[in-house]
Structure 1
Amino acid sequence: MPLRNRRIRPLAALLLSALIALGPGTATAAAESAPRAAAAPDRGWNNWSCKPSAAHPRPVVLVHGTFGNAVDNWLGLAPYLVNRGYCVYSLDYGQLPGVPFFHGLGPVARSAGQLDTFVDRVLAVTGAAKADLVGHSQGGMMPRHYLKFLGGAAEVNALIGIAPSNRGTDLLGLTRLLRYFPGAEEAIGATAPALTDQIAGSPFLTRLNEGGDTVPGVRYTVIATRYDQVVTPYRSQFLNGPGVRNVLLQDLCPLDFSEHVAIATVDRIVFHEVAGALDPANARKTDCASVIG
């Protein structure tokens, strides 16, 4: 084996292992995903007979993160929103052949096309004119491609990104090591294209962010935590432009130490802030006490 290949493969394995370890999916979660998928409708979401109410006229589409799936990423937030009267839906996207449970790994632009198709289905079934999107990590960034390049702005009222990879990540500096291993980035991208699409400065992100972060007619909310160890630096998650509200979790509750996974999966303070962003006219102040709200 050439010396260069012997160097590339360990680094690719290191970065992939780090992303898997830091991502929302775990071996235990994967093993439990099948029975949970069957239980998801019992928890009230992905109920295709749900009709939006006058109080909540838009369906909510939840978009999981890298290594996530339509069930495990949303076992906390989806029921929280259903219990507050929303029609809630979630999808799997970015699947790779032969890789079960861990999704969001395919090319991000192709995943945006899957989201487009799913939103069309939700709107057709519910009769709503527009949907609201809530995404975690890649799921908070990827919809921006749909909004900007696939006509999504006509179908979406608001995008709420929880720890979104809007400008990619340097993964606590690990991605900067790639320059010392020629071919390493290509090796990782061949395995899971979404990983290299989300490296800060990637061609995908450069195109996405050219000409401005937002599109007219859509409200944007970004919720970030200073303890994020995956999408780093955390301030790279924030957007600029009209209709944008950037929120640092610790400004809402200084005692909240949620990191990249917990902020979207178990943090009820964040759930409260998401509910307020979905219905700003009736939003209540979010603070540490919102954990019991």
Structure 2
Amino acid sequence: MRSRLVGIVAGVLALGLLTPSVAAADQQFSVPYGYAGLTAAAAAELAHPYSAPPGANNWSCRPTAAHPDPVVLVHGASANMTENWQTISPLLANNGYCVFALTYGVPAGTPFPIDQIGGRNPMEQSAAELGAFIDRVLRATRAAKVAVVGHSEGSLMPDYYVKFLGGAAKVRDYVAMTPLWNGSNVAHLADFYVLARMFGLGPVVDLIVDAAFPAARQFLTGSDFLKKLGDPNVPGVRYTTVMTTHDEAVVPYTSGFMAGATNVVLQDLCPQDFAGHGMVAFDPNATQVVLNALDSAHASPVQCSPVPVSP
């Protein structure tokens, strides 16, 4: 009798391990916002580097009919999946999505802790890396398409995948937080780069930048990468952009406007939202915009929580 009971228990456990889990809000994760989110990001990075954010990368997850597209989170420049998504990943998981995240753009052979600084490789390489990850997500979940939610570089780089690497057939929704479709002229670096080329110093600047962060010069207004990307709008993909007038990295913030997209400026919704570039990923107003973009049929009004000035 005892051996039979053990066998039954083992069988039940095995069934539980082998049966794919359906995405649902039955397991609730803590969702920290604002400075609490930034603190959670720092704590996770210190205690568990390389870890997926809460709710992400459950490879047995199966999308529901309500949310058939798994969500792929694409972090920003110099960030990684651990620190960028401590708010949005658990929020999406709590709302019944299958959530996946990756750290991309780390040059091969980079030692710890420098390998925690992602998004450094040329964006063409990172786009191919993202494409391979999305293929893995589609195979695991058996979904037809994914939704992409990107922040900073992660709002721009995936469009190269969509436009040039076959991603248009695999991405349904594309939510871009602090996007820079027309690049950035932060600290007049784009102007400086133009002058450097005029005086024949372009190759020298390229050599210096590429030694540490090859993707950096691709962000600049007028870069060769942006010229190749051209009009970022790809037919068949639903775009939503989330911008902040207090963006200190995307200058001007209006670089995030895209013709044909649903363009959202946080301060048009919530004048007391002072989120800067990095804080947007932890902003309760911005995250509600993300939820609404992914499920417009059940959109909820943004409640306009005040967000203090970013550090």
TM-score class, shorter: 0.7 to 0.9
Query: Cα gap change, 1:109/1:252 in structure 2, threshold over 3 Å: closer, same or farther?
Result: same
The structure having more radius of gyration, on CA atoms, is 2
* Match for residue 47 of structure 2 among 26, 35, 51: 35
Q: What is the aligned partner in structure 2 of residue 253 from structure 1?
A: 270
1:87 is aligned, of 74, 94, 98, to 98
Distance 2:206 2:232 in 1: 26
**Does 1:66 find its partner at 2:77?**
yes
Q: Which letter does structure 2 place at the counterpart of 1:46? A: N
Distance apart, 1:165 and its partner CA: 2.3
Shift of 1:285: 1.9
Deviations along 1:167-198, whole A, 9 cap, x unmatched? 21111323423445522244213321100111
In the TM superposition, structure 1's runs of 4+ consecutive aligned residues that sit over 6 Å from their partners are: 28-31
SS at match of 2:176: strand
1:120 maps onto 2:135 in alignment:
yes
In structure 1, stretches of 5+ residues that fail to align are: 1-25
Given the alignment, which residue of 47, 63, 79 partners 1:52? Answer: 63
How far residue 56 of structure 1 moved from its aligned partner, in angstroms, is: 0.8
Amino acid at match of 1:204: F
Query: For residues 190 and 208 of structure 1, what CA distance do their matches in structure 2 show?
Result: 24
Offset at residue 246 of structure 1 (A): 0.7
Task: Supply the distance in 2 between the matched residues of 1:132 and 1:191 (Cα, whole angstroms).
Answer: 31
Q: How many residues align?
A: 259
Amino acid at match of 2:68: P
Question: In 1, are the aligned partners of 2:156 and 2:176 still within 8 Å (CA)?
Answer: yes
Stretches of structure 2 that go unaligned for 5 or more consecutive residues are 1-37
Show the counterpart of 1:160.
175
Q: What secondary structure, in the 3-state scheme, does the structure 2 residue paired with 1:67 have?
A: coil
Partner residue in 1 for 2:88: 77
2: CA distance between counterparts of 1:214 and 1:272? 23
For the residues of structure 2 that align with 1:256 and 1:279, how far apart are their CA atoms? 23
SS in 1 for 2:246: coil
1:278 to 294, 306, 311: 294
Structure 2: which amino acid aligns with 1:221? Answer: T
SS in 2 for 1:284: coil
**In 2, Cα distance between the equivalents of 1:38 and 1:116?**
20
- 2:227 is matched with 206
Paired residues of 1:169 and 1:198 also in contact (CA < 8 A):
yes
TM-score by length of 2: 0.78
Match of 2:257 among 238, 244, 253: 238
Q: Give percent identity, aligned residues only.
A: 44
